Amino acid sequence: MLEEYSRVYARIDIDAIKYNLESMRKNIPDGTRIMAVVKTDAYGHGATRIALSLENVDYIWGYAVATAEEAFELRDAGAIKPILVLGYTFPYAYRRMLLEGVRPSVFRMDMAQELSDCGQELVDSGELTELPCVHIAVDTGMSRIGVTPDEKGADFVSKVMNMPGIQVEGIFTHFARADEADLSNAREREKVFADFVKSVEETTGKKIPLHHCANSASIISVPESSMDMVRAGVTMYGMWPSEDVPRDIVSLKPTMELISHIVMIKEVPAGTPVSYGGTYVTDKPTKIATIPVGYGDGYPRSLSNKGYVLINGHHANIIGRVCMDQFMVDVTDIHYVLEGDEVVLLGRDKNTGEEISAELLGEMSGRFNYELTCDFNKRIPRVFVGK
């Protein structure tokens, strides 16, 4: 390992990501494509590297991101598969999006009109040989973006389908409640979406090639909602959508480990305060190890006096407040521990196989597993293994 990764690094296992995708593929009907959701730098795992490693996987249709800039970053890195921007995009980005096969999600008339004008210009000027593709977002219960699955929404969809400068390649919705034990809401919303799309296709006499609604939770729990394509996010990264999603249907491997090294060990007497505010005071002679990671890296400050890390097969409890760049753990009971020893903040201890999962870290810090890995920021180098 390079010395520059000693302070802290996130080890990202590309083979495990592929294993997770393959596991999901086995749970959904044959021929269903998967859209790899790589927004927020692939939930903190490194979007460009991951996308490039999926370019040759045939069942991966393309990538989903949240912003035009995330899409352009993938294009700049050489990703060729289609990209869908899941949220609203502002007009400044349309020209480059359409030129580079980045599909906007459409749900506002002004937006559709502007995209169609832009598409028409690009085709007229010969810069594009085919009409650019868009996907229409339908709101079936998030109350976030999307047209409503009613007459007004149907009118919107048929208008957009008849616009001269764009083609409707896909139509999608997003479930608000597919990650619950009771799946009746998700099933009902799926039906609302399917009926809506069917009626629009009947009225216009045109088929929209890609219908998609399933996220990670639905891939596991409601695979019959897979339609033409599913959108896999958190499960790609080996994390679980919620506690209520069953763990025995799709097998997932963790894909990120967060590793650091002890930079100082000191022995202090009983009664010694530790870190800002002296919120922890030793009650016995204590051996303290300092870890050079903090909330400035995205390691949660709410782990202060609560969390633990793994060192040489043992738990070491966090004592005192997590600082911006460092925190302290109690290693009194660990007999073999030296400055420079490896510290597992997230992931598996090589000696015992014990794991601090993103879910456990979330529980200890009062945070959401999705949010945690997204928040590990650019100060943490990502080191990729596998291909």
Tell me the catalytic residues.
39, 276
- Of residues 160, 171, 234, 328, which one binds ligand PLP by CB under 6 A? 234
Q: Is 233 in the site for ligand PLP (CB under 6 A)?
A: yes
CB 142, min distance to ligand PLP, A: 8
Residue 24 vs 166, nearer CB to ligand PLP: 24
Residue 233 vs 307, nearer CB to ligand PLP: 233
Q: Is 86 in the site for ligand PLP (CB under 6 A)?
A: yes
Amino acid at 4: E
Q: Which of 346, 368, 65 has the alpha carbon at shortest distance from 241?
A: 368
Asked if residues 345 and 309 have their Cβ atoms less than 8 Å apart, the reply is yes
Q: Is 37 in the site for ligand PLP (CB under 6 A)?
A: yes
For residue 144, say whether it is annotated as part of any ligand binding site.
Answer: yes
**For residue 110, what is the DSSP state?**
H
- Report the distance separating Cα 32 and Cα 213, nearest Å: 12
Helices (H), the chain: 14-27, 39-43, 47-54, 68-76, 94-99, 109-124, 151-161, 184-204, 216-221, 358-365, 369-375
Q: Is 211 in the site for ligand PLP (CB under 6 A)?
A: no
Residue 128 vs 232, nearer CB to ligand PLP: 232
Q: Which residue is nearest to ligand PLP (CB)?
A: 233
Residue 18 vs 174, nearer CB to ligand PLP: 174
Query: The tokens of 194 are what?
Result: 């399917």
Q: Provide the mask over 276-315, with x wherever binding to ligand PLP is found by CB under 6 A and - wherever it is not.
A: ----------------------------------------
The values of phi and psi at residue 13, to 5°, are -100, 100
- Report the distance separating Cα 52 and Cα 38, nearest Å: 11
For residue 247, say whether it is annotated as part of any ligand binding site.
Answer: no
**For residue 352, what is the DSSP state?**
T
List binding-site positions: 144, 324
Site residues (CB under 6 A) for ligand PLP? Answer: 37, 39, 86, 174, 215-217, 231-234, 241
List binding-site positions for substrate: 144, 324
